[in-house]
Amino acid sequence: MNKILCNSSNRSVYAYSKNYKEFVYLPKDFEIAIDSSTLKESSDDYYARKSKFLEEKGFFDTVKHDFTDTYPSQSILYNLANLRSFVIEVTDGCNMACKYCGYRDLYDNYDERHNKKLSFNVVKSFIDYLKDLWNSPYNISYNNTITVSFYGGEPLTNMKLIRETIDYLESLNLPTITFRYNMTTNAYLLKECMDYLVEKDFSLLISLDGNRKNNSYRVLKNDKETFDVVVKNVKLLQETYPEFFESNVRFNSVLHNRNSSEEVIDYIQTTFGKVPNVALLNTNGVAKEKEEEFKKMFMTEVFVERDYSSCEDIDSDMLLADSKITLYNSFLSAFLSDTYTAYPDLFEEDNLPYVPTGTCQPFSRKIFLTVNGKILPCERVGQLFSLGTVTEEKVDIDFEYVSNFYANKYKKIIKRCSQCVLWKNCGLCVFYLKKKENGEEYCDRFLPYTKASAYMGEMLSFFENTPWIYKRILEDLSVY
Ligand code: SF4
Ligand code: SF4
């Protein structure tokens, strides 16, 4: 029996039950009773009896979870037939040359960029393949909405393919499928394309790192600033199509050594009335010889160090945009028995074998078609992990191969995950494991159970100090 007792920064003590997924507050005498097996045996004291009661009811029992390294290939086929998101790399070319771009010299895990444009016939070949699956009995979704994302390079530099793809999708007349379109854009060409994007009701994610100084890594190939053009274009969109702007436009800002979360949020909120998503630089695939340069640029202060005690009226969007609160939200869903992040979680059986890490099932979240016709699980995964290919003539996805490919990756980490406190709220994708000098993959976030008390104590301290956040997470962000 392994008791987990955690201390908060306010000196409160809690016992955690892995079995019931509950925290119980322990007054001093209860803590002594729980901590001392001899006292519990001999004393008739109230807390000793209560402690004994908990033990008898299995409160401190260790629960063993089964882990598996296998997704059946059949499930992967189902995921494709019920696809939710299809990402198309319409070009590997870009009209900008941001210093930290994942497709420039800081990284080495992508295919060579040749300013190439994806051919419509390759996209058509893939859509035809997917259409057969969508029309098959494997499609069990009711009125599915599929998000089609146009990705680059800069997608606005290949509007021809975007128009052709949308025309083709709309000509299919699939009665149970609705297509929605979205795009991440640097907005440099937004002025020329905005009417079409509004007509097709695109969701736009605009990349902007804050004010002029904050945004200074986002430059043209001749090192010229892009700030004025981008801000002017986005303002024009806001003035011309205010309702579209309000409902369909969001901002993404990358955190680095020339900005801070606070500056970025302040600028974008003041200028455009929106709260941006603030993301870290991608740590995956940094070239060995660029590590020093990357470290100088890399900032982890993604959490706005707000005084949380004085912002109770923060709206729900802002609450969701706060990575720190997202982290606490996922802690509650993983460690309490009665909170869930989404309704489908209510149907999850607790005793099913668990696939390690926080990786999504292949193609369950999305599928990514690269400009070179490779198939990947998403655009954030290095392009060396191709799971299939698409040409003008055929689509080649071997579901057995995909299943084995993931199993081989999980085999390397499954034992570690089964011993990790974070197994249920793990946010690590298996494609992001770190590599040792000898090539062996490992997880640098592993948290052994010897550190569970400290970890939980830290989480509970936050909720004790800001109980309104606990309440808002339960009311606004989770299902309970
Ligand atoms: S990064 Fe990993 S977990 Fe996230 S969508 Fe891509 S494959 Fe899935
Ligand atoms: S943090 Fe690492 S060791 Fe822990 S569950 Fe996630 S991938 Fe596994």
Per-residue pLDDT, 302? 46
Per-residue pLDDT, 68? 94
Strand partners, 151: 89
Q: d(Cα 26, Cα 460) in Å, to the nearest integer?
A: 13
Whole-angstrom Cα Rg for the chain: 25
Looking at the chain, how many residues does it have? 480
Q: d(Cα 330, Cα 211) in Å, to the nearest integer?
A: 32
pLDDT digits (tens, 9 = 90+) for 409-441: 999 999 999 999 999 899 899 999 988 888 899
Ligand closest in space to the Cα of 420: 2
281 lines ligand 2 (CB under 6 A): no
Q: Give the number of the atom of ligand 1 that is nearest the alpha carbon of residue 430.
A: 2
Q: What are the structural domain ranges in the chain?
A: 1-63, 66-185+351-411, 203-302
Q: Give the number of the atom of ligand 1 that is nearest the alpha carbon of residue 379.
A: 6
How many A from CA of 450 to the centre of ligand 1? 29
pLDDT-derived band of residue 38, with 50, 70 and 90 as boundaries? low
Ligand closest in space to the Cα of 406: 1
Ligand closest in space to the Cα of 448: 2
pLDDT digits (tens, 9 = 90+) for 24-37: 999 988 888 887 65
Mean pLDDT of the chain: 89
428 lines ligand 2 (CB under 6 A): yes
Strand partners, 441: 435
Query: Residue 157 burial (CB < 10 Å; 0-12/13-18/19+)?
Result: buried
Write the CB contacts of 315 (distance below 8 Å, at least 6 apart in sequence): none
CA 129 from centroid of its chain's CA atoms:
28
The three-class DSSP label of residue 448 is strand
Residue nearest to atom 7 of ligand 2 (CA): 357
Q: Which residue is listed with tokens 């999708």? A: 169
Q: Which CATH class is domain 203-302?
A: alpha beta
The three-class DSSP label of residue 71 is coil
How many A from CA of 444 to the centre of ligand 2? 8
Spatial contact of 268 and 253, defined as CB atoms under 8 Å apart: yes
Spatial contact of 49 and 363, defined as CB atoms under 8 Å apart: no
Q: d(Cα 466, Cα 109) in Å, to the nearest integer?
A: 42
How many A from CA of 380 to the centre of ligand 1? 7
Strand partners, 308: none
What would the mean pLDDT of 119-135 be, rounded to a whole number?
A: 97
Cα four-point dihedral sign 292, 298, 300, 306 = positive
The pair phi, psi for residue 67, each rounded to 5°, is: -115, 150
Q: Percent of the chain at pLDDT above 70?
A: 89
- Give the residue, 229 or 3, on which the prediction is more confident: 229
The pair phi, psi for residue 375, each rounded to 5°, is: -110, 130
Q: Is the pLDDT of residue 245 over 80?
A: yes
pLDDT-derived band of residue 230, with 50, 70 and 90 as boundaries? very high
Per-residue pLDDT, 238? 98
pLDDT digits (tens, 9 = 90+) for 365-400: 999 999 999 999 999 898 889 999 999 999 999 999
Q: d(Cα 459, Cα 9) in Å, to the nearest integer?
A: 10
The three-class DSSP label of residue 6 is strand
pLDDT digits (tens, 9 = 90+) for 256-293: 999 998 899 999 999 999 989 888 888 778 888 888 88
How many A from CA of 212 to the centre of ligand 1? 32
Distance (Å) of CA 422 to CA 9, 43, 86, 372, 463: 21, 37, 30, 37, 19
Q: Give the number of the atom of ligand 1 that is nearest the alpha carbon of residue 431.
A: 2
